[in-house]
Amino acid sequence: MNKNAHHKKEGIDLGSNMIFGEPTDYFSEFTYFMILEDIDWDAQFYFYYRITDDHYIQIAYGLDDKRHSICAQYQKTNQDLKINLKEMLIKYMKDNRFYGGYLYFVESNLFTECEFTSIIESIKNELEALKGQARILKTPFIDFLEKTNFNPKPTGNNKHSWTIGCPNADGKHFLMISTLNDEWGCGYCKRKGDLEDFKNWLQELDRKKLTQFVKEINTDNDLSDKMKKWWFNRY
Ligand SMILES: [Zn+2]
């Protein structure tokens, strides 16, 4: 059987998009190495690895050891397997923290609990260091967001990455800011631009709210709680 990687790409697949292939047919080629737990959801994830003939390492996992999908694929380096897997886990868990936070150690035949904890600690330390650098590299855009009570926070993704609650969603989803060129974007609202564009968008949103405000006053003689909150925050 041809044990080459389905895709030559290296990276992390968080959404089970199957970019690295559907492992069901050849799952017997994978070797178990770890169980991690999501405490909030009381869910256990079983982790496996496989080395392909074309020298890729793949990590697959399955909730309750079922329906496994490949979540990471990288070319094997000259270092030993454990170091390779450790590097891949760091990348995976760094990306995954946005979705499920950090997973907890249950058991492993490759890593001790102490080694696993130090992996998580090293991720947290790196994120804090990047957040610190982001605060040092603050720009006029971030100053503006602080002055206007958007409460911007560095994400730790890189030293230029910040986030705020999107003004078009009462903070229910997030908008990203990069201080590299002082640009922002909301994937959800499909809007992006520079500081001027952001200010214009705020005015546009304010006008929309104002129209709604006037409409509510005229029709109901009574304002909704949401509208009252907006009105009082406006001044
Ligand atoms: Zn948005």
The 10s digit of each residue's pLDDT in 147-198 is 999 999 999 989 999 999 999 987 789 999 999 999 999 999 999 999 999 9
Q: Are residues 160 and 224 in the same domain?
A: yes
Q: Are residues 29 and 90 in the same domain?
A: yes
Query: What distance in angstroms lies between residue 189's CA and the mean position of ligand 1's atoms?
Result: 4
Query: What distance in angstroms lies between residue 27's CA and the mean position of ligand 1's atoms?
Result: 40
The range of the structural domain enclosing residue 115 comes to 11-130
Query: What distance in angstroms lies between residue 19's CA and the mean position of ligand 1's atoms?
Result: 27
Q: What is the pLDDT of residues 60-95, one digit of tens each?
A: 999 999 999 999 999 999 999 999 999 999 999 988
Query: What distance in angstroms lies between residue 26's CA and the mean position of ligand 1's atoms?
Result: 41
Q: Are residues 151 and 66 in the same domain?
A: no
Burial class (CB in 10 A: 0-12, 13-18, 19+), 208: exposed
Q: 0.75 cut: is pTM over it?
A: no
Query: What distance in angstroms lies between residue 196's CA and the mean position of ligand 1's atoms?
Result: 17
Query: What distance in angstroms lies between residue 163's CA and the mean position of ligand 1's atoms?
Result: 11
**Res. 220: pLDDT tops 80:** no
| Number of domains the chain is built from | 2
**C-alpha to C-alpha distances, 69 to 49, 104, 153, 174, 220, nearest whole angstrom:** 11, 20, 33, 28, 53
Confidence of residue 97 (pLDDT cuts 50, 70, 90): confident
Say if 1 falls within a structural domain. no
Query: What distance in angstroms lies between residue 130's CA and the mean position of ligand 1's atoms?
Result: 25
